Amino acid sequence: MEITVLESTPTRVRLLVKDAPLALVNAVRRLILSEVPVMAVDEVIFLENNTAMYDEIIAHRLGLVPLTSERALEKYRSPEECAECTDCEDCFVSLYLDIAAEDQPVIVYSGDLKSTDPDVQPVYDNMPLIYLAPGQRVSLEARARLGRGKEHAKWSAATVAAHKYLPVIKFDFTKASRETVEECIECIEGASREIAKKLREMKKGEYQVLEDVNTSLYHYCSRTACKDVLEIEYRDDSFILTIESTGALPPKRILTEALRILEEKSRSLLEALGASTGGGESS
């Protein structure tokens, strides 16, 4: 197994994964979306709300606000322990909101939420939540806990988790006529000028598309302007795994957490399998 980092920013990574089974990459992708725990508002107690918005809509919006969760993973109890609790210790973080609009309208932003734990804060403070007309007031306590994406999408650690086969362009410009090559390159430019330029320089060979471009146009080109000159293939032993975080956890942590969960699940399955046979015939 070989991993190359193609892109890495605080909220997004793209990895080239070589010589790993597709099912493994797919399991990781699925676990990222459904199992990696993050913090999100789950209960809201309204003290006052005379805005145009129903309590439920505001509660739903609060749930969708990403909260920083990296430290919370160690500090707070697991989703399984907290899901049925209303008043358990080490489960909930309270975020308070109390804003009134006097004679000017006010827009309430995610940054207005006052958290009781500095490790659990809204990731972005500029997400508009509620519009308050003059004279309106909203006062509430929102309680956040750890949860998993399989319970509700607000607990998904990633907004994007996707993999695809590595696209490879096979081409030979040396045998074709000049017009065909020019036409073909023009077609290729439609998706990326950079790639078209590189192909022109290489003249013939194979080009691995590691750039983040949509390769479906190349199919069209290979059938039209680039007929018999260029082909696109997909390597089925190399994958490009893209992960975009909500900001609650860094992408690296999301990945390592997903893999740790996979390992733990497998370990517990192995243990259960050992127990279920009792060292011989089925029980």
Q: Which of residues 147-176 bind other proteins (CB under 8 A)?
A: 150
Q: Considering the complex, state which of residue 179 and residue 273 has its C-beta at the smaller distance from other proteins.
A: 273
Find the DSSP H helices in 126-246: 178-189, 193-202, 216-223
**CB closer to other proteins, 230 vs 255:** 255
Residues 6+ apart with CB under 8 A from 213: 191, 192, 195
Q: Which of 37, 38, 58 is nearest to 47 (CA)?
A: 58
Residue 21 CB, shortest distance to other proteins, in Å, is 6
Q: How many residues comprise the chain?
A: 283
Three-state secondary-structure class, residue 168: strand
Does 9 participate in binding other proteins (rule CB under 8 A)? no
Counting contacts by CB under 8 A, is residue 282 touching other proteins? yes
Q: Per CB under 8 A, does 107 bind other proteins?
A: no
Decide: 40 and 91 in contact? Cβ < 8 Å.
no
186: phi > 0 → left, psi -120 to 50 → alpha, else beta; which?
Answer: alpha
CA pair distance 136, 138, nearest whole angstrom: 7
- With contacts defined by CB under 8 A, name the span among 55-63, 88-96, 229-237, 272-280 that binds other proteins: 272-280
Restricting to residues 21-40, name those near other proteins by CB under 8 A: 21-24, 26-28, 30-31, 34-35
Contact status: 260 vs other proteins (CB under 8 A)? yes
Stretches 4-12, 91-99, 120-128, 229-237: which one binds other proteins (CB under 8 A)? 4-12
In the complex, the residues that contact other proteins under the rule CB under 8 A are 1-5, 8, 13, 15, 20-24, 26-28, 30-31, 34-35, 150, 250-252, 255-256, 259-260, 262-263, 265-274, 276-277, 281-283
